[in-house]
Structure 1
């Protein structure tokens, strides 16, 4: 059975450039096994054959392996720190901020960043790069329509200002959408741009192995300008930030030394 999964890892890498061996095996295997069983396949070999034949199955695989749990202002207290402490600190050094939302999923995160930045500058001056490995979620992010539960943590004034209610859903206003450029990007395989003031990568690193995390911390650090900030998720504390040229600036915020 394990060989079946190892073969699957190799074939998926060849087909998609996604290296499943960088993800925690037990978690990923469990997630994918439940998907293929639900679809009536007996093993990873049958699952892969189906992915070869049918784009829909491949898309479902991508959706399942990229963990699309996202909402606006997720863990609201951290966004308060970003607004009240981190951004003023960054703007003291540079009037225009280069910002990246890495592994942005369905777009809640980069749009939240734009809304936070709008306290400091007009939306027309905000530019955010948002990337994800999964083209399906990028398509959904570009549409910018969300169920009410995605907005549970959004402050009322922000909800009124930047969203339009359409039936049971909320649509992000176009001027917010225009601040974000979405691109497909594989964190482990693709090169990173550089000179970022702020990189936000939250609730993604927990799914990677320790080795893969180390590689990513180094790449993120190299992509930041000195004094730039890496903002990670609430279960993703970096225990030896100095190994990557970073130091803790606040809980879950790391400054490039």
Structure 2
């Protein structure tokens, strides 16, 4: 099996070119969210709008993939989402590089599609969400069909028709994402020879976990779950999923291990330090009017590095304000093994090296060879096992930090969680998400404080469902 990192070091197996405008904004967002984390192709997006509108849309789309703007020269690697500047023309060369060739003109799109089919042939595809110019789309379809490529039309399109055999019509955005992955993966999804994920067994495993652990993984993104299940199969040297299913029923310890594998998180102190710098500024502005108390929820805290990073930020804010802060942090996670580590607050000298000097405590307490962060910060911190999907707090929180969790859930669950976060925050309370996450379509609930760092402020508006 290709792990996430390995898959994305490879060249793209195929390339799809998607056309969209503002009218297809939700469809585009849904498709991008449905692309699996191990997507083996590259997706080029030609959006009919200004660069500022595209930048806004880009932040709405939740994905684990590498989402970026096209540059003068860009190698097409697996797992990329590339946004084309509408002011420029592009072509793909035989070294599988996307090149900017000059200002946009009436033939720009046709030249790009021709170069795409020359290089990627039957592994090229177009996704015309926007079919407002039927003649142009028909011409592109002919080019794609001539190279045995594919045209994937959305269900909602009723104005466009063609007899090309290359066309698959009436697909939902999620079905288009699934089809793209299948087309660009010449072999079945597998860990190694014989390790194919059977749909029925996969669903039975999720049901078993739900019964014994109480977590409903059916609301998580399936692609991520499959990848981690495949990894567990590889680690345990199981010959196939059927054998592993029997083992799970007979060995509670292995069920525990799989559960932990599905929940595993990546964390470190001050991961993406610029986010913490923006949060420091936002908290300072939030408190400078004289407030001295903070109630914070850190969701998906894993082994605690993020929680103690927050506590160190709070101590620095208090120092800058010139008065002490009564800060209370509730940190939650489903992984009890990770919580046990977090609760101790003990970390190695190697792990704390990523703490910026300006945030280091004046007296960093030590226990043997380990550093005790819990004893070195002033905030009151409580850890508990809790499912993010069922968490409920009074609307008195000043800050919610939920970084890199939403990407594991389906789009509708993400929207539900964003609304839930808003209901728990005070007016003007702060929300911090991961770099690949956003408040999506909930524009009436939050306003961006710093878009690049995903720091948001809650508006006082209450959704109808909460009134």
Closer, same or farther in 2 for the Cα pair 1:231/1:124, shift >3 Å?
Answer: closer
Greater Rg over alpha carbons, structure: 2
Q: 5 Å matches for 1:130-141?
A: 130-141=331-342
Residues 1:69 and 2:278 aligned together: no
Root mean square deviation, CA, Å: 2.6
Residues 1:211 and 2:412 aligned together: yes
Maintained 8 Å contact 1:90/1:228: no
Whole-angstrom CA distance in 2 between matches of 1:139 and 1:32: 24
Q: Secondary structure at the match of 2:377?
A: helix
Structure with greater proportional helix content: 1
Counterpart residue number, 1:38 = 235
Counterpart residue number, 1:225 = 426
**Structure 2 portions without partners, runs of 5+:** 1-197, 460-467
Shift of 1:173: 4.7
Q: 5 Å matches for 1:17-166?
A: 17-44=214-241, 46-47=243-244, 49-92=246-289, 94-121=291-318, 125-159=326-360, 161=362, 163-164=364-365
Maintained 8 Å contact 1:123/1:179: no
Whole-angstrom CA distance in 2 between matches of 1:50 and 1:105: 27
Whole-angstrom CA distance in 1 between matches of 2:428 and 2:361: 34
Whole-angstrom CA distance in 2 between matches of 1:61 and 1:177: 36
Whole-angstrom CA distance in 1 between matches of 2:228 and 2:430: 32
TM-score normalised according to structure 1 size: 0.87
How many residue pairs align between the two structures? 256
Whole-angstrom CA distance in 2 between matches of 1:229 and 1:178: 18
Whole-angstrom CA distance in 1 between matches of 2:401 and 2:284: 12
Q: Secondary structure at the match of 1:8?
A: helix
Closer, same or farther in 2 for the Cα pair 1:88/1:53, shift >3 Å?
Answer: farther
Maintained 8 Å contact 2:419/2:442: no
Whole-angstrom CA distance in 2 between matches of 1:50 and 1:177: 46
Deviates more, 1:64-73 or 1:160-169: 160-169
Shift of 1:168: 6.6
**Structure 1 portions without partners, runs of 5+:** none
TM-score normalised according to structure 2 size: 0.50
Closer, same or farther in 2 for the Cα pair 1:254/1:157, shift >3 Å?
Answer: closer
Counterpart residue number, 1:239 = 440
Maintained 8 Å contact 1:132/1:184: yes
